[in-house]
Amino acid sequence: MAKKKTVFECCECGYKSAKWMGKCPACGSWESFIEIKEEKTSTKTSSTPSKVLKFDEIEKEEIEKFSSNDSELDLVLGGGIVPGSLVLIGGSPGVGKSTLMLKLAGNINKKVLYVAGEESPGQIKLRAQRLGIKNKNLFLMPEIVVENIIEEIKKGYDLVIIDSIQTIYSQEIQSAPGSVSQVREATFELMRIAKENKIPIFIIGHITKEGSIAGPRVLEHMVDTVLYFEGEASRELRILRAFKNRFGSTSEIGIFEMTKQGLVSAKNKNFFSKKALPGSAITVILEGSRPIVLEVQALVSESYGVPKRSVTGFDLPRLNMILALLEKKLNLPFNQYDVFVNVTGGIKINEPAADLAIIAAITSSFRNRPISKETVFLGEVSLVGDIRDVPGLEQRLKEAANLGFKKAIVPTKPLEEPLKCYEVKEVEKLIEWM
Ligand SMILES: Nc1ncnc2c1ncn2[C@@H]1O[C@H](COP(=O)(O)OP(=O)(O)O)[C@@H](O)[C@H]1O
Ligand SMILES: [Mg+2]
């Protein structure tokens, strides 16, 4: 037996209440409640209970992945696409989610259904042409009703793309498309069909201002894999990061570049210049299994007033710590200087291995003396000024050697030296070396 009941729901977080409220007690949003008619099913449903299995007798599920024919996407997915998996691609508008998915649809030799809820077929065709898409087995469905999409998926596809979840709605629910209950219901229906028919489904989701996909992470719990596509509209570099993955590690990243022909792998792109200028130093960061050689830049200039500190791609508290250390250990008067730090290429440094390079760049700018561009700097600095080892040192050094670097400043020499290594154990020694 079903009966209709009126409830109010917060469009930001999905909190439900019997009466309208000005402020949501769960997420604090103002005037976010809308009235919805909720179908209330009787609790006395007759479902047969699941059989309990003896753990020893359960057969292991073999996961067979197939390649997306895109090495960057495969890497982030953990080796390829898993049949029956639900993958969420999140990112801010304009970052390139539709481009990435259309490229996937065109790259694999399989029957693909692209559900377009946002753009017209003509617009998508234009983009497909620009990307040079040739898949003869690619089908486009301009549709926003989830029940109709499910019916179409049942006809047999190898892969389905939903662009985007915020435009899709279920006729069973009364709230507006994009609201938390709609997004949740549509995703649930898609999850069911994906598992039943063993079809991988990619769902595109826009990130709201607050950084979540349609409310607080409602989707992240439901799907198998969550990938975030990051990048600034003003820069070409895009990074695809796994946030959750039931079928692989979340430490790998994919690097792309947005070009006229769409997204291409930026694997062979260099994030440094070989010109020796004051304030520039080279380091190697490690993103998952991938070493990236990077240039860090610093500008130290005399301050008029309160000294400014500013960072792009680096952690501001960490910069403050490094400056305090340099002031204390080396008597450098940074309290009278503005310090700006920038990591090139739009990459963010999330590990302390780059500390030494940051110090080298700051000191080089302060003294207005360039550092030889044949050298890479690797090492974490501690609060007391000693320099600590970094994980994956040999792998980082190998990459630097491959790219033509000749010398490395490291905390401890590795067994094998792909390039000439100099040991530096304290900040003072680094400055002496320079
Ligand atoms: N003709 C073009 N040449 C080069 N880049 C383009 C062209 N048209 C669109 N783009 C790029 O594609 C981006 C839009 O990508 P899109 O896949 O629609 O993003 P999303 O689906 O994440 O909103 C734009 O920000 C722009 O950088
Ligand atoms: Mg789009």
| Cα radius of gyration (the chain) | 26
Candidate of 120, 208, 258, 260 to mutate for ligand 1, largest count of ligand atoms within 8 Å of Cβ: 258
Fold of the CATH domain 280-433: Ribosomal Protein S5; domain 2 (3.30.230)
Mean of pLDDT values over 73-94: 93
pLDDT at 60: 83
Instruction: Dump pLDDT digits (tens) for 378-432.
Output: 999 999 989 999 999 999 999 999 999 999 999 999 998 999 999 999 988 888 8
CA distances (Å), origin 407, targets 96, 270, 432: 38, 18, 16
What is 65-265's CATH topology?
Rossmann fold (3.40.50)
Residue 145 has pLDDT above 90, yes or no: yes
Rounded Cα gap, residues 369 and 363, in angstroms: 8
Pairwise CA distance, residues 77 & 87, whole Å: 9
Which residue ranges have their beta carbon within 6 Å of ligand 1?
A: 91, 93-99, 130, 233, 258, 260
Q: Write down the pTM of the prediction.
A: 0.80
Which residues lie closer than 8 Å to 259 by C-beta, 6 or more apart? 236
Domain locations along the chain: 2-41, 65-265, 280-433
| C-alpha 230 – ligand 2 centre gap (Å) | 14
pLDDT (tens digit per residue) in 238-293: 989 998 999 998 888 899 998 888 888 888 888 898 888 999 999 999 988 889 99
Alpha-carbon span 425 to 38, nearest angstrom: 66
Mean pLDDT across the stretch 180-188? 89
Give the whole-angstrom CA distance, residue 434 versus residue 430. 6
> What does the alpha-carbon distance between residue 369 and residue 346 come to, in Å, rounded to a whole number?
25
Atom of ligand 1 nearest to the CA of 100: 17
pLDDT above 70 covers a percentage of the chain that reads: 94
CA distance 24 to 218: 17
Whether the Cβ atoms of residue 390 and residue 411 lie closer than 8 Å to each other: yes
